[in-house]
Chains A and B, each alone.
Chain A
């Protein structure tokens, strides 16, 4: 079943006279892990922002469920709220009662192993922990689609590996549809079912990653797939 569909979506910024997206069409299945890769400025974040409702397309149609949630590159946590408040706050904004919001918060903090940090403030956490709170918060509103905008690009490689494991575990447990934007090809091949390769405001090609999970980034098949993606991107 198709969860997300973009049809001939364009985005033009009139004032700057920039075309961010040119007739992009894309279909993402329910429960799929889809990754958009490409150089910066290719429009991959714009796709995410349009699906999230942060921007309106200039033309074309977007079909997406109302329950969409997002994980931000910076984490976007509120410094004046502790971990628990950051998560429960969005549950309450959604209309949940305090009690239900607390349940949700506990559940998802547990999922990212941060239950013991509920009374910590964001500044007391490491970058990886903050991002895990960001993931817990995004999940706590029970979205159908989870959008991730280069969530790991500000983290060191070791932490990134750790978060990849968390993300795959969560994906498996919850069965959410995930759309992630990344500029790291290895990350895309490691995580996703399909990779949309973007160039100059268009999706150049979509590659299916037919590797069994858990994937090893030093296996021959992995490196082959990576090579294919690289070639498309460079030519």
Chain B
């Protein structure tokens, strides 16, 4: 009986211990990364960019700042995209009504909002939030539409089984819906991050939207470093920022997305 009890505590879970370790390792890594990035972000010089005093340290800070902004925007859009996608696909009626709305919002270029957003956030002296908001808007719709696609491909037998076995509410979301769309979350995230990286160059170069703005108005980041160094003929800095950006994207691709795409295979229906 004692053995059996141990067995029951050790093995008996919705996730096998191996899988549970995997997901907790992921969560721990994500949390630690976020803490480190936040600390570095706080430590980072906030006075804007002075192109005459660029050091390697600045490039490192710029990298962490940028990663911090991307990560925050990504988590915000991930957390929000799930309820939005669930709401849109809730029933045929909600879909008929909400999908076109989402489609319109999504098809308006994010940058069209940018001047208004910048003016709004600058008023509260919140450049950082302006950047994050733009990145968030750009990332959100990739995730939402990927999720909608995923939710619509869950086999009917699976949703029927959930109904028959009275699996509902949070239990259904946690153990059926989210795993079922997991591969779509990953592909949507890939697109979202690509979108984020490409918008960075505009989002961090806030000063062009501020009347009389200069590089000193820009929050330090890889994107603002790229724009300003190029504009001011600091080719070495430009090159350094570009190389760092490429290396970071490649590393993320290799160590995060490739691995997650591999994991996603296990969540696919035959």
Which chain A residues lie closer than 8 Å to B262 at the CB level?
none
Bound-state Cα–Cα, A141 to B164, Å: 10
On whether the beta carbons of B16 and A52 are closer than 8 Å, the reply is no
Binds A, one of B82-90, B153-161, B224-232: B153-161
On whether the beta carbons of B165 and A93 are closer than 8 Å, the reply is yes
Judge whether B14 is part of the interface by a CB distance below 8 angstroms.
yes
Binds B, one of A76-84, A162-170, A199-207: A76-84
Band of interface residues on A: 20 to 34
On whether the beta carbons of A72 and B175 are closer than 8 Å, the reply is no
Judge whether B48 is part of the interface by a CB distance below 8 angstroms.
no
On whether the beta carbons of B12 and A141 are closer than 8 Å, the reply is no
Mark A78-114 against chain B: 1 for CB-CB distance below 8 A, else 0: 1111101100111001100011011000000000000
**Chain B positions 138-190 with a Cβ under 8 Å from a chain A Cβ:** 155, 157-158, 160-161, 163-167, 171, 175-176, 179, 182
Mark A40-66 against chain B: 1 for CB-CB distance below 8 A, else 0: 000000000100111000000000000
On whether the beta carbons of B163 and A98 are closer than 8 Å, the reply is no
**Chain A positions 9-58 with a Cβ under 8 Å from a chain B Cβ:** 49, 52-54
On whether the beta carbons of B157 and A79 are closer than 8 Å, the reply is no
Min CB distance B28 to A, Å, is 21
Which chain A residues lie closer than 8 Å to B11 at the CB level?
84, 119
Which chain B residues lie closer than 8 Å to A90 at the CB level?
165, 167
**Chain B residue at minimal CB-CB distance from A93:** B167
On whether the beta carbons of B160 and A119 are closer than 8 Å, the reply is no
Bound-state Cα–Cα, A84 to B8, Å: 12
On whether the beta carbons of A93 and B166 are closer than 8 Å, the reply is yes
Min CB distance A98 to B, Å, is 6
User: Which listed residue (A68, A73, A93) contacts B171, Cβ 8 A?
Assistant: A93
On whether the beta carbons of B267 and A80 are closer than 8 Å, the reply is yes
On whether the beta carbons of A80 and B171 are closer than 8 Å, the reply is no
Contacts A68-B164, A81-B14, A82-B16 given; does A76 touch B158 at CB 8 Å: yes
On whether the beta carbons of B267 and A79 are closer than 8 Å, the reply is yes
Min CB distance A70 to B, Å, is 5
On whether the beta carbons of A119 and B158 are closer than 8 Å, the reply is no
On whether the beta carbons of A74 and B157 are closer than 8 Å, the reply is yes
Min CB distance A114 to B, Å, is 16
Judge whether B268 is part of the interface by a CB distance below 8 angstroms.
yes
Contacts A79-B266, A79-B269, A141-B165 given; does A102 touch B158 at CB 8 Å: no
Judge whether A123 is part of the interface by a CB distance below 8 angstroms.
yes
| CB pairs A–B below 8 angstroms (27 shown) | A53-B163, A54-B160, A68-B164, A69-B165, A70-B164, A72-B157, A72-B160, A73-B157, A76-B160, A78-B158, A79-B266, A79-B267, A80-B266, A81-B14, A84-B11, A84-B12, A85-B16, A89-B167, A90-B167, A93-B166, A93-B167, A93-B171, A94-B165, A94-B166, A98-B8, A102-B12, A119-B11
Please report B residues at the A interface, Cβ cutoff 8 Å.
Answer: 8, 11-16, 155, 157-158, 160-161, 163-167, 171, 175-176, 179, 182, 266-270
